[in-house]
Chain A
Amino acid sequence: MLLLELFWSFVKIGFTSFGGLSMIPLISSEMISHGWMTAHEVSDIVAIAEMTPGPLGLNCATFAGMKAAGILGAFVANMGALSPTYTLCAVAAVFFEHFRDNKRLVQIMTGVRPACVGMVAGVVADLALVNYVEAGNVHWPSVILGVVDLVLLMKFQVSIPKVLMLSAVAGVIMFGVMGL
């Protein structure tokens, strides 16, 4: 039953996501509503998925599936996330020519893309509330570290895995050694 629930959750996630980032709002709401992950764990999986090979959606599926139901769960969740691939895409492969410039698909994406931008912005707000706030108060050392990360990414073009590694080291020093 749990396996079926996992599969169905990731089928929903798969069919309504269009590439990497756009999966985060769906994953976050499905995982938290089922109690498979906490808000902190959603942040962690986004970071882990960025540091390891493989697409974000499948890495999230493995993490959530494994936590909810072990290795079999991980496999089932992956198959759910891949369901549009082996249904829709398999059909597209057969009728390759018809899919080359599909006008309707372009039109649909014109609305889906901004919708994803809005939802992902919502996730950023959600994550900010969990990661920079502690017991109802703004946790300034975390905010400062976050601002430094943003500057490194946007201004100095440091790569994402490097920024995450640097933050891990900073975390050990600031929160572990200094106890901030």
Chain B
Amino acid sequence: MRLAKLYFDFLKFGAFTFGGGWSIVAQMQEVYVKREKSITEEELLDITSIGRSLPGTMIGNIAILFGHHMGGFWGGVACMMGMITVPMIILVMITAFYTAFQNNLWVASAMRGVRTAVAPVIVFALAGLFKSAFKFPPCYVVALAMFVVYFFLRVNPVWLVVIGAVLGLVICEFYERGKRDATA
């Protein structure tokens, strides 16, 4: 009974998440913190920050963490599966439609128009990322170097993420050690 509620709650959340994961957090706040009072604001914030910092889809991560909190292992499964149901059905239909009408003049023209907007949309989203991305000056060098390596040398992005992670550890250790020495 409880599992079914979790599944259908997340089915609803999943159906109304447009462009980014924050809308699901807002919906969860509305339902669980304000209305049902089954979780505190702080707990939701903790779940969100952990879900964000682990790899993978933020919404999926938040769904499983919350589900586990509410109903153990199966609660997590119910929330994750609920969340992906509607988007998956919609995308399956769109993909079928897309494949069938890809070469139709009007669909092709519309898609060509949409394609011109994709780079601007990514630039716009990238601008939002800038604030949190550059904690220390060397981070600018990391970004520039990764652009060059990705675009000109065509190294697999998987390796670039791993290199970024290692550089993050090195940069933080350097700066945090400097700070400790200064206070000592």
List the interface of chain A (C-beta within 8 A of B). Answer: 12, 14-21, 24-26, 29, 40, 43-44, 46-55, 57-59, 62-63, 66-67, 71, 74-75, 78, 81-86, 88-90, 92-94, 96, 99-100, 102, 104-128, 130-132, 142-143, 145-147, 149-150, 153-154, 159-161, 163-164, 166-172, 174-176
Contacts and interface: CB of A to CB of B under 8 A. Distances in A.
**Is the interface on chain B under 10, 10 to 19, 20 to 34, or 35 or more residues?**
35 or more
A104 to B, nearest CB: 7
A64 to B, nearest CB: 9
Contacts of A57: 56-57
A19 B58 contact: yes
B184 interface: no
B91 interface: yes
A87 B140 CA distance: 32
B87 A116 contact: no
A126 B106 CA distance: 25
- Which of A53, A62, A66, A111 has the largest number of chain B CB atoms within 10 A? A111
A14 B133 CA distance: 20
Interface in B15-64: 15-21, 46, 50-61, 63-64
Given A119-B150, A123-B122, A15 B56 contact: yes
21 contacts: A12-B158, A18-B53, A19-B57, A81-B60, A84-B61, A86-B64, A86-B80, A96-B65, A107-B171, A111-B139, A116-B129, A118-B143, A119-B157, A121-B147, A127-B119, A146-B117, A150-B120, A153-B121, A171-B112, A172-B106, A176-B110
B127 A92 contact: no
Contacts of B86: 53-54
B91 to A, nearest CB: 4
Contacts of A121: 126, 143, 147
B3 to A, nearest CB: 16
Contact of A110 (B88, B109, B171): B171
Nearest to B130: A117
B80 to A, nearest CB: 6
Nearest to A81: B57
B21 A55 contact: yes
A40 to B, nearest CB: 7
B98 A168 contact: no
Contacts of A102: 53
Interface in B106-157: 106, 108-127, 129-130, 132-136, 139-140, 142-151, 156-157
B55 A18 contact: yes
B54 A84 contact: yes
B121 A54 contact: no
Given A53-B18, A54-B88, A113-B139, A43 B129 contact: no
B122 A111 contact: no
Contacts of A161: 18-19
B34 to A, nearest CB: 22
- Which of B69, B119, B134, B173 has the largest number of chain A CB atoms within 10 A? B119
Contacts of B77: 86
Interface in B68-94: 68-69, 73, 76-77, 80, 84, 86-88, 90-92, 94
